[in-house]
Structure 1
Amino acid sequence: MEAKLTDTEPQVALNDVLATERTIMANERTFLAYCRTAFSLFIAGLSLMEFTKTHILIAIGILFIPLGVGVFVFGLWRFTKKKKAIRAGKLLGNKR
């Protein structure tokens, strides 16, 4: 059985629903890109620290680890901020 809308409930166009779904998936893909970058930096830092003898490369490895953690935290923060904006309909292109 289909639920029928009354005159007081706004009808949402299919294009708007699909555009919102595309935006949600794009936000998730962006977050996954941040995760990949963060894990790559973290692993690169561990590898430089473990497999090199040069002090400068060990120092670079030590810098890569917190940088990777920072990229992950920034990506998570940005993802949650955009997710809330999408759900509230407060995107820049939205005229609501």
Structure 2
Amino acid sequence: MRKPIAGAMRISAYVPKALIQIAYTFDKFADEVKINKSNVDSYELTYPYDGMTGPQVRYCKKCGVIQPVSSTYCEATGFYVARYDHFCPQIMKGIKIMLFLY
């Protein structure tokens, strides 16, 4: 039997670490989709109130903006997040459904 090359074994030890770092970097710089007064109009067009997905227009008492359909207020960040799922303390961001790819 052939002996494995020592250099290849050392390199293969760094591959999982590099993949984790790449995934963390993508996740850290991915768009969190914070909804505030400046961009709420574009989200109203993206997620319109049609009577089926959202019965009525809702206003936020804290922010004073219209809450778009499929958005939730993140207590940790203080913003509405479109398609919000949960807050991740490792990257200090609200996680939307699209970020599950990373």
**Greater relative contact order structure (CA < 8 Å, 6+ sep):** 1
- TM bin, normalised by shorter chain, reads 0.3 to 0.5
Higher strand share: 2
Report the TM-score, using the length of structure 1 for normalisation. Answer: 0.41
Report the TM-score, using the length of structure 2 for normalisation. Answer: 0.39
Higher helix share: 1
